[in-house]
Amino acid sequence: MKVTILLICSCLAWGGLGKPQFPDQEKDPLFWNTWAQRTLKNALTLQKLNQNTAKNLILFLGDGMGIPTVTAARILKGQLSRQSGEETQLEMDNFPFVALSKTYNTNAQVADSAGAATAFLCGVKANEGTVGVSAAAVRSQCNTTQGNEVTSILRWAKEAGKSVGIVTTTRVNHATPSAAYAHCVDRDWYSDGEMPAEAVQAGCKDIARQLFENIPNIDVIMGGGRKYMFPKNQSDVEYPGEKKHFGTRIDRRNLVEEWNNRMKNKNAHYVWNKKELLSLNPNSVDYLLGLFEPGDLPYDLERNNETDPSLTEMVEVAIKILKKNPSGFYLLVEGGRIDHGHHDGKAKQALHEAVEMDRAIGHAGLMTSIYDTMTVVTADHSHMFNFGGYTPRGNTIFGLAPMLSDVDQKPFTAILYGNGPGFKVVNGLRENVSTLDYEENNYKAQSAVPLSMETHGGEDVAVFAKGPMAHMLHGVHEQNYIPHVMAYAACIGQNIDHCMLSSGASSLSAALPSLTALLTLIRLLC
């Protein structure tokens, strides 16, 4: 009965019975022509390219945020505001320049987050599963680390005198953030407790330790990953009775305590919950370490608003602290759990994570200026996620397609995965989704191939850019091009020659009138 009613409703929406499910103004060609002309005029203003030097750099990385995820998140954002959704604009949609990034790793057609992070942070393509090392390093082989280290744009910015920060919804030593500071041949070496004994004995360092030792004065660090900072079996401050959250360090070091001791005279603060974070006065904080969970932060749909900060709240605090530096800042922001939602086949969780990251992008835009801040939004890779099925305008993004399969005569949701945990057969046939709550937060969308975890996708991902030199992100590029553009815009790292030349040219230009006057005077006297 439920499926019959759903199908009737879908067909009514599809056919419309003469009442289309979209605003009446859209029936008037003037509406579309006016919109297009307004967009055209905005495009013409881009001829005046922003070639300022970028004082600040912000990279928003949606982990696993492929183009289908961007489109679906756009629709969800609109539907959360009681609109049909398709016409909604994400904050990143308003960025004036868009490119495509080729995401493959040096040894993988379909990228993993670690190798991809090394590309978009260190400017060098690398092997899957490795962070902050070149492709000469081999995953899990400790002896291939030394001599193959590569540095990141976060380090380039720090060495240029800028403040630097990392904000993530995953562990702060997860694949994406770790490429900003670590050199490790295995992305899973979160602490020495996850490393092979021979790798520790050979002198390789775990990623948590490198967070504090490689670039010791990272100004802002926020995310999860508490358990990797504390001695093995030490109970967690928030979950004292849960062994899965106990410390993991075999070396018995307390990295948080060490950080506190080292930073005690530097206006530094360690916080582990939202209340402590929001009670800080950013004007009196120069260094911040915020570890809000033993592992990853919870999905935004499941977040405890009293104890866990949102991505937007973390970004706001980070920018307030970092922007005090007159030399500017570099900030890496990762919406990391978009990826996790997709791996679990939980599209609702993934898309709400993407909408929250878009909210953080908008908030960062309000706190900075397009004239001196280059902001880039991209993804490390895509996923085997898509949606379709000839759904009508305004169809809930988590809803059914308006037809039955003409093969098994069963309904199907618009959102589907190419592979993953949503594959299920009942009595030899595809499960009937009308018997399930397919709009429930943790519903696992059906997949074509059964896997315990859904996989990444191999297609190009979008790169959105605004601010100084944003026009240099155009067309189709290798993923490792991204940090080179950002460094060029900010005159840091190896991209400083053009800044010195332009500075010299400016000085010469300013001196020319005086030089001309001097030559005239000499001629008169002689």
Half-sphere CA count of 118, side-chain side, radius 13 A:
29
Residue 477 marked ligand-binding? no
Measured CA to CA, the distance from residue 140 to residue 479 in angstroms comes to: 24
pLDDT per residue over 185-236, tens digit each? 999 999 999 999 999 999 999 999 999 999 989 999 999 999 999 999 999 9
CA-based angle 220:209:272, to the nearest 5? 45
> What share of the chain in percent tops pLDDT 90?
85
Position 500 scores a pLDDT of 74
Q: Which of 143, 285, 168, 274 is nearest to 222 (CA)?
A: 168
Residue 358 marked ligand-binding? no
Helix 347-367, helix 311-322: angle, nearest 10:
30
- List Cβ<8 Å contacts ≥24 apart for 272-280: 272/226, 272/237, 272/238, 273/238, 273/307, 273/308, 274/305, 274/306, 274/307, 274/308, 274/309, 274/313, 275/306, 275/307, 277/222, 277/309, 277/313, 277/314, 277/317, 278/309, 278/313, 278/317, 280/317
Q: Is 204 helix (H, G, I), strand (E, B) or coil?
A: coil
Structural domains present in the chain: 53-384+455-490 (3.40.720.10)
pLDDT band at 337 (very low <50, low <70, confident <90, very high): very high
Give buried/exposed letters for 172-203 (b at 16+ CB in 10 A, else e): bbbbbbbbbbbbbbbbebbbbbebeeebbeee
Residue 334 marked ligand-binding? yes
* 8 Å CB contact between 77 and 86: no
> Burial, 459: exposed, middle or buried (Cβ in 10 Å; 0-12, 13-18, 19+)?
middle
Position 44 scores a pLDDT of 85
Position 103 scores a pLDDT of 98
**Averaged pLDDT for residues 349-354:** 98
Position 45 scores a pLDDT of 85
Measured CA to CA, the distance from residue 181 to residue 472 in angstroms comes to: 26
Q: Answer with the residue of higher pLDDT: 495 or 28.
A: 28
Residue 334 CA to its chain's centroid (Å): 3
Query: Chain-wide mean pLDDT for the chain?
Result: 92
Give, in order, the Cα–Cα distances in Å from 129 to each of 163, 262, 342, 379.
Answer: 28, 31, 19, 17
pLDDT at 260 exceeding the cut of 60: yes
Residue 63 marked ligand-binding? yes
Q: Answer with the residue of higher pLDDT: 340 or 497.
A: 340
Position 18 scores a pLDDT of 41
* 8 Å CB contact between 279 and 297: no
**Residues near 168 by Cβ (< 8 Å), separated by ≥ 6?**
174, 176, 177, 222, 223, 224, 332, 333, 334, 336
> Burial, 255: exposed, middle or buried (Cβ in 10 Å; 0-12, 13-18, 19+)?
buried
Position 501 scores a pLDDT of 62
Measured CA to CA, the distance from residue 101 to residue 381 in angstroms comes to: 9
Residue 176 marked ligand-binding? yes
In DSSP notation, 22-61 reads S-GGGGSHHHHHHHHHHHHHHHHHTTS------SEEEEEE
Position 426 scores a pLDDT of 94
Position 3 scores a pLDDT of 41
Choosing from 10, 84, 101, 113, the catalytic residue is 113
Give the pair of three-digit tokens for residue 179. 């490429």
Position 453 scores a pLDDT of 98
- Residue 196 is which amino acid? P
- Residue-level length of the chain: 526
Output phi, psi for 42, to 5 deg.
-65, -40
pLDDT per residue over 460-519, tens digit each? 999 999 999 999 999 999 999 999 999 999 999 987 888 876 554 333 333 333 444 444
Q: Answer with the residue of higher pLDDT: 104 or 48.
A: 104
**Residues near 495 by Cβ (< 8 Å), separated by ≥ 6?**
484, 487, 488
Residue 113 among the catalytic residues? yes
* 8 Å CB contact between 168 and 160: no
Position 502 scores a pLDDT of 58
pLDDT per residue over 364-377, tens digit each? 999 999 999 999 99
Residue 380 marked ligand-binding? yes
What helix, strand, coil percent values describe the chain, rounded to 5? 40, 20, 45
Beta-carbon count within 10 A of 165 CB: 26
- Residue 394 is which amino acid? G
Radius of gyration of the chain (CA): 26
- Residue 389 is which amino acid? G
| Torsion on CA atoms 307, 308, 313, 314, rounded to nearest 10 | 120
Residue 339 marked ligand-binding? yes
Q: Which of 214, 104, 105, 209 is nearest to 152 (CA)?
A: 214
Residue with tokens 């000499």, as numbered in its chain? 522
pLDDT per residue over 303-322, tens digit each? 999 999 999 999 999 999 99
**Averaged pLDDT for residues 346-362:** 98
Q: Is the alpha carbon torsion for 117, 122, 123, 128 positive or negative?
A: negative
